[in-house]
């Protein structure tokens, strides 16, 4: 209460949500410039940076796996400033960062000229939603929907509570996430031909792959994936 009173008398100066530098934007130009964008050659399937040359521009992971989505795109590497940006949103609740991330995603998608009918966020489990107060993928998807002028269909639900994926290997991740999602009964997916699936981070792709499988079984024709950040390639 007292804090609010002082905020009215002396409104806090707008500053960068990451470094604290004074400025009107949620992220200052210095922080934005230090994101590791994905220039040069990226895998034509998963969107990760290719550090070695492959004649067909497909990374080794994508050559061996079974994938249900057509292509995945990311905006920057999950490390350094990219990791900070995601953590500030996800774990410190700085939702003012949402438009920054959605803006980068919109640019990335507009460059690809994809035909999209609906945007679908990757859901989090209800318990996590209550604890965090928001699903980062959903709020990003809403901002992205406004920018791309496409409807957002929050049609997936996470049925089972899965273990955190970050300390699992590729096979464990696939098993951990298998069967975790379903399409809500109230949604008719068949009317959306092409779906853009939104998540914050792409690591091995097992989460978005499982969601894509469920969406295709429910009638989606094509599924594209956009994530803010991607882990580096194996």
Residue 160, SS3 per DSSP: coil
Of 26, 35, 38, 59, the residue at the interface with Zn ion (CB under 5 A) is 59
Count of CB atoms situated within 10 Å of the CB of 204: 21
> Which CB, 187 or 202, lies closer to Zn ion?
202
Q: Does 16 bind Zn ion (CB under 5 A)?
A: yes
Binding status of residue 43 toward Zn ion by CB under 5 A:
yes
Total residues contacting Zn ion by CB under 5 A comes to 11
Answer for which of 35, 62, 89, 144 binds Zn ion (CB under 5 A) is 62
Choose which of 35, 38, 46, 197 interacts with Zn ion (CB under 5 A).
46
> In the chain, which ranges are continuous DSSP H helix?
2-9, 29-33, 60-64, 80-90, 98-112, 126-132, 136-148, 170-177, 206-217
For Zn ion, the closer CB: 22 or 130: 22
State the pairing for strand pair 156-158/181-183.
antiparallel
* Nearest distance from C-beta of residue 162 to Zn ion, angstroms: 23
- Specify whether the CB–CB gap between 34 and 81 falls below 8 A: yes
Give the footprint of Zn ion on this chain (CB under 5 A).
16, 18-19, 21, 28, 31, 43, 45-46, 59, 62
């Amino acid at each position: 209460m007292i804090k609010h009173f002082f905020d009215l008398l002396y409104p806090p100066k707008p500053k960068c949500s990451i470094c604290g530098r004074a400025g009107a934007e949620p992220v200052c130009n210095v922080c934005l410039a230090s994101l590791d964008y994905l220039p040069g050659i990226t895998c034509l399937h998963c969107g990760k940076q290719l550090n070695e040359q492959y004649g067909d521009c497909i990374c080794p992971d994508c050559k061996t796996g079974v994938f249900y989505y057509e292509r995945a795109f990311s905006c920057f590497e999950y490390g350094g400033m990219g990791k900070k940006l995601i953590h500030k949103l996800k774990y410190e609740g700085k939702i003012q960062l949402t438009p920054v991330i959605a803006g980068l995603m919109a640019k990335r998608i507009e460059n690809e000229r994809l035909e999209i009918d609906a945007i679908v966020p990757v859901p989090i489990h209800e318990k996590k939603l209550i604890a965090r107060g928001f699903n980062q993928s959903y709020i990003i998807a809403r901002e992205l929907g406004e920018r791309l002028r496409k409807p957002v269909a929050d049609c997936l639900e996470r049925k089972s509570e899965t273990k955190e994926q970050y300390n699992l290997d590729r096979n464990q991740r696939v098993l951990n996430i298998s069967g975790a999602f379903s399409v809500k009964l109230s949604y008719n997916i068949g009317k959306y031909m092409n779906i853009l699936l939104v998540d914050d981070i792409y690591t091995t792709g097992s989460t978005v792959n499982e969601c894509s499988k469920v969406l295709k079984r429910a009638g989606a024709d094509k599924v594209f994936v956009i994530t803010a950040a991607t882990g580096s390639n194996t």
